[in-house]
Chain A
Amino acid sequence: MASRDIGATQLTPPRGTIDYPPPSLAALSRVLGALENVLEHAGYPAVRTPMFERFGLLAMRAGDAIRHSMFTFTSERVEYALRPEMTTPIGRMVASGLLTGPLPRRVRYAAPCFRYERPGSRRQREFTQVGAELFDSLAPWGDVEMIILASECARAVDGDRIHLRVGDIRVFGSQLAGLNAEARGVAANLLNDALAVEARCAGLREVERVDDALATWLRDLAAGVFRLQQRVGSPTDETIALPSAYTPDTVAALARELPRASRDATRLALVSMAGLDEVVASRLVHGTTIQGTIGEVAEAGRSLFGDSAAEALESLQQVCALADAAGARNVEASLGVARGLEFYTGTVFAVVVPEAPGAPVVGGGGRYDHLIEELGGPSTPAVGFAVEVEQILALLGHEMERPEPATVVVVAAEPSAWVRAAELSGRLRAAGLRAPLPQPHSPTTADGPAIVVASEGPYRLMLRGETSEAADFIALLTQLRAVCETEAPE
């Protein structure tokens, strides 16, 4: 076979995926570790499920946003998809009776998931979800547990920038009760899109710098609103005009303009495409903008939706009050959190970074009491949440990129000393220290402490560059001495 010119395109990872060299992976692992540590200490043991599942299972309760983003393939006449999320696979485990033990059952996961994203999207097509699921726990206690855990996870990776916005899906759901399944799906899509525009534009009004990724992302957002305007026949003088250049000023102008245009077009579309009454459509669209303290939101919700949403608003108040009393931080209420209208059944929340450009949603969760039964298992109230590690990492920037240094470097002074140096490094590793095997031709200096080993004679300790704090260093020296004084095994 002739040799091939592989070409530059073959050397880049597939679109929407990332290679992680050691410092980047160390950063990712730190975030993963911090999140998993919170969940481990809260009594959530880890589970693992297959990387791919039957498409029908994953699509059963997924909204269009997930159903239409799966990577599918067929083998032995069965259509499969790479998992786009972890709740359904874990739900399958529960429905099949594999998850046993005392109630309520708690599990956590840290797993790669896969979704098609438009080119230029800030989300990766391969991303890592860390999350928790709690089964057989009733509202409001399970809901509050998830909010507290999500809050603790946010604190574990970042001080104050990550916030939780809590809503109740039944507020909007009660307004769609009269629709058939198809119309309800159309309305859910329209509202989810409108909510995304509201949330994202809220974070774009004071952008300091516009990079290509942000411009592409905003162009997509605006194009979506434009298409909706075209579909519902919005007047020409009201249609969105895309800027010729994306600067902080034009982005701010677009961020002001888009929500208004989106609200108008969504209201018309809810009537013409989903068959909603005009008054109800207007209320729903107004509802997407309501957020603040739980008191403000409950009052605004009652005045907008009246008795039809009273129960949901009462539940939302109770959940928020308990979470606040239990110390959950940065929790706000929002009727505009209505993610997963087809999936969730009560409390829903989004994990957001309100101050970052585009106010990215880095995670979310909520109550889904019907899933396990619909998968064929017993009726099982359930609640869960997940965050996306890559999105959190993007927020934290390079802060987490600290290489993991060797605790101690063993240097072979000459090639003939290699066996002796290698044997010492093995004893150091066995003692729990990070000590790479020596390379005879590597430099004879190291940033941290190094032990120089000659063919014979005593080991020499070499100190260069920065060292640990004194207390750590003394402990290290004590360990080193203990290991070095140990006779090599015969």
Chain B
Amino acid sequence: MSDETIRLALPKGSLQKDTTRFLAGGGIVAEGYEDGRDYRPKVDIPWLEVKVLRPQEIPMYVSQGYYDAGITGLDWILETRSGDEAEVMLDCNYGRVDIVTAVPDSWEHVNSFDDLMNLPDEVRISTEYINLTQDAVLRTTGVEPTVLTPWYSVRRHRYSNVVLILSFGATEGKPPEDAEAVVDNTATGSTLRANHLKIIGHVLSGSTARLVANRGSLHDPAKAELLDQLAAMLEQSAALPAGEASASLGTHLV
């Protein structure tokens, strides 16, 4: 065994509890991780270094090679368009959410993403998933929507009646005054229902936590061996083998 180490990023937030259990099932104890008091949990494996980051950030850190591997949701791997440089090694099969489109439940005439796109007036969509939503709009209408974020803006009001507005949270509270629709993650739909929203389509179905690895690390023989070992340990913990649990981009858009 070489002196090589693997830097692993673990998610902070809603995935934390399940990730602790998932790691334990593979024989890895991350001390101080579950209760959130330590951003640098101790692990009893000499070749493994662990750091806690937001799940939204993990795909970028891994794809850039700042971390060799990370555990984060498929939704954020796709949203950050990190798939080219970050390879999914394992479907961890927990933290299942759907990324859905929802509108006010009083809108009887809008029951699909197509219906929403075909509304004659401006359609403002509040979302944290700007890229996934933009892809969905493009695939449905063929026309680029207007996108408003603090970092960049695309102005296409003249060509498209769809406006995507970046949400920094509390997305479900935006309609009807500040958005006509939301694209948000949901496990059971109860939060959306409580806010008088109804689901009219899935942008991404069955997003679960995934173990991702930097492609450069996978091409380094010493790191690849350790990453394979890590995946093998954790694979025992996943209820189903990798790939069997399915996630798919909304089929109504294809």
Q: When the two chains form the complex, which single residue of A74, A119, A228 contacts B143, counting CB atoms closer than 8 Å?
A: A119
Residues in A whose Cβ lies below 8 Å from that of B143: 118-119
Residues in B whose Cβ lies below 8 Å from that of A68: 146, 155-159
CA–CA, A74 to B159, complex, Å?
22
CA–CA, A72 to B215, complex, Å?
31
Q: When the two chains form the complex, which single residue of A73, A79, A118, A189 contacts B142, counting CB atoms closer than 8 Å?
A: A118
B: contact size bracket? 10 to 19
Answer whether residue B168 sits at the interface, using C-beta atoms and an 8 A cutoff: no
Q: Contact at B120–A64, with CB atoms within 8 Å?
A: no
- Output the least CB separation between A141 and chain B (Å): 35
Interface of chain A residues 85 through 109 with chain B (CB within 8 A)? none
Answer whether residue B187 sits at the interface, using C-beta atoms and an 8 A cutoff: no
Answer whether residue B26 sits at the interface, using C-beta atoms and an 8 A cutoff: no
CA–CA, A1 to B65, complex, Å?
13
Q: What are 10 sample pairs from A and B whose C-beta atoms fall under 8 A apart?
A: A68-B156, A70-B155, A72-B153, A73-B152, A74-B151, A74-B152, A116-B156, A118-B159, A230-B120, A231-B121
Q: Contact at A116–B144, with CB atoms within 8 Å?
A: yes
Q: When the two chains form the complex, which single residue of A64, A72, A79, A120 contacts B157, counting CB atoms closer than 8 Å?
A: A64
- Output the least CB separation between A259 and chain B (Å): 20
Answer whether residue A48 sits at the interface, using C-beta atoms and an 8 A cutoff: no
Q: When the two chains form the complex, which single residue of A2, A116, A120, A230 contacts B159, counting CB atoms closer than 8 Å?
A: A116
14 further contact pairs, Cβ within 8 A, besides A68-B155, A69-B159, A120-B142? A1-B216, A67-B155, A68-B146, A68-B157, A68-B158, A68-B159, A72-B155, A74-B151, A79-B153, A116-B144, A227-B161, A228-B120, A230-B120, A231-B120
Interface of chain A residues 1 through 37 with chain B (CB within 8 A)? 1-2
Q: Which residue of B lies closest to A74 (CB)?
A: B152
Residues in B whose Cβ lies below 8 Å from that of A65: 158
Residues in B whose Cβ lies below 8 Å from that of A119: 142-143
Interface of chain B residues 151 through 199 with chain A (CB within 8 A)? 151-159, 161
Answer whether residue B219 sits at the interface, using C-beta atoms and an 8 A cutoff: yes
- Output the least CB separation between A192 and chain B (Å): 10
Interface of chain B residues 110 through 166 with chain A (CB within 8 A)? 120-121, 142-144, 146, 151-159, 161
CA–CA, A143 to B121, complex, Å?
40
CA–CA, A68 to B155, complex, Å?
5
**For the complex, would chain B's binding face be called helix, strand, loop or mixed by DSSP majority?**
loop
CA–CA, A230 to B121, complex, Å?
9
CA–CA, A68 to B121, complex, Å?
17
CA–CA, A98 to B143, complex, Å?
40
Residues in A whose Cβ lies below 8 Å from that of B153: 72, 79
CA–CA, A68 to B144, complex, Å?
11
- Output the least CB separation between B86 and chain A (Å): 14
Residues in A whose Cβ lies below 8 Å from that of B151: 74
CA–CA, A106 to B219, complex, Å?
61
Residues in B whose Cβ lies below 8 Å from that of A69: 156, 158-159
Q: Which residue of A lies closest to B142 (CB)?
A: A119
CA–CA, A120 to B141, complex, Å?
12
Q: Contact at B219–A2, with CB atoms within 8 Å?
A: yes
CA–CA, A387 to B158, complex, Å?
23
CA–CA, A230 to B109, complex, Å?
14
CA–CA, A65 to B157, complex, Å?
9
Residues in B whose Cβ lies below 8 Å from that of A1: 216, 219
Residues in A whose Cβ lies below 8 Å from that of B156: 68-69, 116
